A and B are shown apart, each in its own frame.
Chain A
Amino acid sequence: MAYLFPEEDRDLYESVKEFCEKEVKEQCKEFDKTGEWPSKIYDMAMDMGLHMMEVPEAYGGLELNRTTNLALVELMAAADAGFATSFNASSLALNAILISGSEELKHRACKILEEKKFGAFALTESDAGSDAGAGKTVAVRDGDSYVLNGRKCFITNGGVAGFYVVTAMTKKGVGVSGMSAFFVEAGTPGLSTGAEENKLGIRTSNTCDVVLDNCRIPAENLIGKEGEGFKIAMKTLDHGRVLCACAAAGIIQRSIDESVAYAKERIAFGKPLIKNQALSFKIADMAIKAETSRQMAAHCAALMDRGMPYSKEAAMAKAFAADGAMFAASEAIQIFGGYGYIHEYPVEKLLRDAKIFQIYEGTCEICRMVVAGAVIGR
Chain B
Amino acid sequence: MNYLVCVKQVPDDSVLVTLDADGSPDLQSIDLTVNAFDTYALEMITRVREKQGEGEITVLTVGGETAVSALRSCLSVGADKAARVWNAACEHTNAKAMSEILYQTISKQLEDGRKFDAILCGLESTDTMSGQVGARLAEKLGYALVTGAVSMEAFEDGFKVEQETENGSRVLKVERPCVITVSKPNYDPRYPTLKSKMAARKMPIEDWTLDSYQVTENAAARSFEVLPQKEGGQKIMEEDVACSVQKAIAIMVEDKVL
Contact = CB atoms under 8 A, between A and B. Distances in A.
Q: Do A and B come from one complex?
A: yes
B72 A62 contact: no
15 contacts: A11-B69, A12-B194, A12-B198, A15-B194, A15-B197, A16-B194, A48-B191, A48-B193, A49-B193, A50-B194, A52-B195, A53-B194, A62-B195, A62-B198, A64-B194
Contacts of A48: 191-194
B191 A11 contact: no
Q: 9 tightest A-B contacts by CB?
A: A49-B194, A49-B193, A48-B193, A11-B197, A49-B195, A62-B194, A19-B191, A48-B191, A15-B192
Nearest to A68: B194
A47 B195 CA distance: 10
Contact of A8 (B76, B191, B192, B201): B201
Nearest to B69: A11
Given A15-B192, A15-B194, 10 more contacts: A11-B72, A12-B194, A15-B197, A23-B191, A44-B191, A48-B193, A49-B195, A52-B194, A62-B195, A62-B198
Interface in A9-47: 11-12, 15-16, 18-19, 23, 44, 47
A12 B199 CA distance: 11
Interface string A52-70: 1100000000101000000
Interface in B65-87: 69, 72-73, 76
Contacts of A15: 191-192, 194, 197
Nearest to B195: A49
Nearest to B31: A14
Contacts of A62: 194-195, 198
Interface string B185-216: 00000011111011001000000000000000
Interface residues of B, number: 12
B201 A11 contact: yes
A8 B194 CA distance: 12
Contacts of B195: 49, 52, 62
B191 A12 contact: no
A47 B193 contact: yes
Contact of B197 (A12, A44, A50, A53): A12
Contacts of B198: 12, 62
A119 B45 CA distance: 36
B192 to A, nearest CB: 6
A47 B194 CA distance: 9
A361 to B, nearest CB: 25
B194, B195, B198, B201: residue with the most chain A Cβ atoms closer than 10 Å: B194
A12 B73 CA distance: 11
Contacts of A53: 194
A65 to B, nearest CB: 11
Contacts of B191: 15, 18-19, 23, 44, 47-48
Contacts of A11: 69, 72-73, 76, 197, 201
B21 to A, nearest CB: 27
A8 B76 CA distance: 14
Nearest to B194: A49
B129 to A, nearest CB: 23
Looking at A8, A11, A23, the one whose CB has the most chain B CB atoms below 10 A away is: A11
B32 to A, nearest CB: 12
B184 to A, nearest CB: 16
Interface string A75-97: 00000000000000000000000
Interface in B39-53: none
Contacts of A47: 191, 193
A49 B191 CA distance: 11
A251 to B, nearest CB: 23
A40 to B, nearest CB: 13
B63 to A, nearest CB: 17
Nearest to A18: B191
Interface centre among B72, B76, B195 (most CB of A within 10 A): B195
A268 B44 CA distance: 50
A224 to B, nearest CB: 30
Contacts of A18: 191
Nearest to B188: A22
A351 B81 CA distance: 48
Chain A CB within 10 A, most for which of B191, B192, B193, B195: B191
